[in-house]
Amino acid sequence: MQKAHDASRNNYWRNLPEITTPIVAEELNRNELSVDTIDDRVVAMDTTKADQADMLLAIKSVIYNAATGTFRFTFFNNSYVDIDTDIEKIAVNFDYDDDPTSAHYQQLIITLEDGTVKYVDLSALVTEYEFSDTSTIHFSVDNDGKVSANVIDGSITESKLQPNFLADVRLERAKAEQASSDAEAWAVGERGGMPVPSSDVTYENNSKYYADIADTRADDAETSRQQAEDILDECIQVTTFVTFSVNFTTGNLEYTDNTAYSFSINPTTGNLEWEVIV
């Protein structure tokens, strides 16, 4: 803001007999203009100034009490207001008690601004209600506050598997199905309960096929064995020696009855001859 009156004109006026500073209209109007400008400024200040009553309620000072965390606001009328912020209860240090022998083992130690120490059991921060079960996972919290997550039996579906893993599983399942089909074909000559066609590598080339042949061969062997036993019996009968003895009463040469042999005397040579007649 500029001055309303020209200060450079100080001591401008002179008393008689000096007549170089006459009181004329130009000089009077200059002073009138300065007075009018000052008057306007005084009116403007009166319009915009604060009332005394309002100023008495303005804050003169603010004092903070670190011990209590309280702010005191003092007004120009010397009244005041105290506001307790609880700043003294703000935590200034944290620690964790990991001493198994301590009464506060596995608890969080909080030191407040006013020196108060608080102990917080971390297990109290974890409850079963902070976890939501799904159709796949079930959460539980034991007495020590330990959280367990268990997969629900039979809840894992294909949508939960990694795509490449699922593809590998499907591939291995296809291989297993093929292996199962091959095993069935090699074992009994069937695929899916139906006989394998002649174009199948297992046609007349499987365990059942050879087992049937073995059964047939076993039956043939049993028949042959029975025939062999019969022949053996005949051979034993044929090879049984005749027992001879002399009847001293009659003077005849006698032998035990054996239908397998026939004895006769050759009249030409006088020899006793025999032959098997079985």
Query: What does the domain layout of the chain look like in residue ranges?
Result: 7-49, 53-87, 88-151, 163-224, 240-276
| Surface-to-core class of residue 52, CB atoms within 10 Å of its CB (0-12 exposed, 13-18 middle, 19+ buried) | exposed
Structure tokens at 212: 């049937």
Percent of the chain with pLDDT strictly greater than 90:
3
Q: Which residue's structure tokens are 């309960």?
A: 193
Contact, 211 vs 187, CB < 8 A?
no
* pLDDT, position 242: 63
Q: How many CB atoms lie within 10 A of CB 171?
A: 10
Say if pTM beats, i.e. exceeds, 0.75: no
Structure tokens at 223: 């028949």
Instruction: Write out pLDDT tens, residues 230-274.
Output: 777 766 665 565 676 777 888 777 776 655 667 777 888 878 777
Structure tokens at 185: 């074909």
Q: Which residue's structure tokens are 């909080």?
A: 110
Q: How much is the mean pLDDT over the chain?
A: 79
Instruction: Write out pLDDT tens, residues 18-33.
Output: 888 888 898 888 888 8
Contact, 115 vs 98, CB < 8 A?
no
Residue, of 190 and 9, whose pLDDT is higher = 190
Q: Which residue's structure tokens are 């050879």?
A: 210
CA distance 170 to 160: 14
Taking 70 as the threshold, does the pLDDT of residue 153 lie above it? yes
CA distance 89 to 110: 10
Contact, 96 vs 108, CB < 8 A?
yes
